[in-house]
């Protein structure tokens, strides 16, 4: 079995995965959403302190499995430096105490493997990762063959939902709150511009749209928020759809997946389904409970890394907060 730990942002999570079968034997996550909600976003130092409390508590529950563990895996990149350190430090302590090898897992690869929790892998895949930290299109052939086709030049898709929600005083995380509010709004009410529409670049940008939303909020009243939320969600989604359409002119999709916390967004899912239909491409999604950050996806990657012998030593494993794919 492999013990896996996730602490790259505001979720403290630990899982135990059986190596031979990929079965998930234990998974627990303690979210900090409530604590960060009052600030309208994640406060890194507060997050680190909450991880330091939560992770050892969850680890204690894993004690019955300790004598069966063959490795300990931990998210070591990318993420918030002060929170990654909490998980990595605990993983190193476990590795030393139980004398088992250590695996450093990339969080973005984790999101890709959230598709395969308790399942066989399925490659090749075109993957759209939409989370609080990333908006990225990738061609994935295997664990180690991942080509990034497009990424955001500034804010991410999920982050733009968080920032718009914060400007409207809705709370954090903004994604589900904006999605809910948008249900009662008109998508065409505000004529926000689709970002980078004239640009031939396969890239994303959400900072301009966020500013347009800020201006609309400043000019309007809370009665306008539902229409603003609906129009924003529409344009944020159309930005992705337009760029994917451009990419598909060159590479027709066969098997497409959406992963990451914001892959829970129903409007985005629906629009991507429509986009894929003429190609006859299949759409893979993670189970809703594994879209947002969790340790089960880290454990699933760790099984692959274990089988390939991709271990790190306690001395060498370091955090890489900004590492990209
Ligand atoms: O993957 P995740 O849990 O953490 C990161 O790795 O960043 O993603 C969290 C992000 C937040 O920005 C949150 O607002 C967004 O995912 N999110 C959504 C929805 N649910 C979560 N964004 C849009 N629509 C949603 N339904
Ligand atoms: Zn994530």
Cα–Cα distance between 40 and 59 in angstroms, integer? 29
Q: Which residues face 151 on adjacent strands?
A: 136
Where do the domains of the chain lie, and which CATH numbers do they carry? 2-117+293-307 (3.30.420.40), 125-285 (3.30.420.40)
Looking at residue 127, its pLDDT comes to 98
Band of the pLDDT at 72, cuts 50, 70, 90? very high
Nearest to 246 by CA among 194, 286, 187: 194
Looking at residue 104, its pLDDT comes to 98
**Share of residues in the chain with pLDDT > 90 (%):** 99
Residue 291 CA: nearest ligand 1 atom is: 1
Mean pLDDT of 28-44: 95
> Which protein residue's CA is at the shortest distance from atom 19 of ligand 1?
175
Ligand in closest contact with the CA of 264: 1
Residue 10 Cβ inside 6 Å of ligand 1? The answer reads: no
Paired tokens of 298: 């880290």
Ligand 2 ion: nearby residues, β-carbon < 5 Å: 131, 293
Band of the pLDDT at 86, cuts 50, 70, 90? very high
Residue 265 Cβ inside 6 Å of ligand 1? The answer reads: yes
132-145: pLDDT as tens digits: 999 999 999 999 99
The four Cα atoms 232, 234, 236, 238 give a dihedral, to 10 degrees, of: -150
Q: Which residues face 27 on adjacent strands?
A: 15
Mean pLDDT of 78-93: 98
> Which protein residue's CA is at the shortest distance from atom 3 of ligand 1?
292
For the chain, the average pLDDT equals 97
Residue 79 Cβ inside 6 Å of ligand 1? The answer reads: no
Looking at residue 220, its pLDDT comes to 98
Looking at residue 31, its pLDDT comes to 97
Residue 131 CA: nearest ligand 1 atom is: 8
Looking at residue 97, its pLDDT comes to 98
Mean pLDDT of 264-291: 98
Centroid of ligand 1 to alpha carbon of 156 (angstroms): 10
Looking at residue 66, its pLDDT comes to 98
Burial class (CB in 10 A: 0-12, 13-18, 19+), 223: exposed
183-228: pLDDT as tens digits: 999 999 999 999 999 999 999 999 999 999 999 999 999 999 999 9
**CA within 13 Å, CB half, 300:** 25
Ligand in closest contact with the CA of 32: 1
199-211: pLDDT as tens digits: 999 999 999 999 9
Looking at residue 215, its pLDDT comes to 98
Residue 174 Cβ inside 6 Å of ligand 1? The answer reads: yes
Residue of 12, 87, 113, 161 with the most ligand 1 atoms within 8 Å of its CB, for mutation:
161
Looking at residue 122, its pLDDT comes to 97
Looking at residue 198, its pLDDT comes to 94
Residue 264 Cβ inside 6 Å of ligand 1? The answer reads: yes
pTM: 0.97
Residue 152 Cβ inside 6 Å of ligand 1? The answer reads: no
Looking at residue 135, its pLDDT comes to 98
Centroid of ligand 2 to alpha carbon of 131 (angstroms): 6
Mean pLDDT of 236-265: 98
């Amino acid at each position: 079995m492999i013990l896996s730990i996730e602490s790259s942002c505001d979720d403290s999570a630990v899982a135990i995965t059986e190596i031979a079968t990929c079965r998930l034997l234990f998974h627990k996550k303690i979210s900090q959403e409530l604590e960060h909600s009052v600030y309208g976003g994640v406060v890194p130092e507060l997050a680190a302190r909450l991880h330091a409390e939560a992770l050892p508590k969850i680890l204690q529950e894993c004690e019955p499995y300790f004598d069966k563990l063959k490795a300990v895996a931990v998210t070591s990149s990318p993420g918030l430096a002060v929170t990654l350190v909490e998980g990595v430090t605990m993983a190193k302590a476990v590795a030393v105490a139980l004398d088992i090898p250590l695996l450093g897992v990339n969080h973005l690869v984790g999101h890709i493997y959230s598709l395969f929790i308790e399942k066989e892998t399925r490659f090749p895949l075109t993957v759209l990762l939409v989370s609080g930290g990333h908006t990225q299109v990738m061609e994935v052939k295997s664990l180690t063959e991942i080509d990034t086709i497009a990424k955001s030049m500034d804010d991410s898709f999920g982050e733009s939902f968080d920032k718009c929600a914060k400007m409207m005083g809705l709370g954090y995380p903004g994604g589900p709150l904006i999605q809910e509010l948008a249900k009662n709004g008109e998508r065409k009410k505000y004529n926000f511009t689709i970002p980078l529409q004239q640009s031939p670049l396969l890239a994303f940008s959400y900072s301009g749209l966020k500013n347009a939303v800020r201006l609309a909020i400043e000019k309007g009243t809370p009665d306008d928020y539902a229409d603003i939320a609906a129009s924003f969600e529409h344009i944020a989604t159309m930005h992705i759809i337009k760029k994917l359409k451009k990419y598909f002119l060159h590479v027709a999709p066969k098997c497409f997946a959406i992963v990451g916390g914001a892959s829970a967004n129903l409007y985005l899912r629906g629009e991507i389904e429509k986009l894929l239909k003429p190609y006859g491409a299949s759409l893979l999604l993670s189970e809703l409970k594994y879209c947002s950050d969790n340790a089960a996806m880290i454990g699933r990657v760790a099984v692959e890394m274990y089988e390939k012998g991709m271990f790190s030593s306690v001395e060498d494993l370091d955090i890489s907060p900004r590492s990209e794919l």
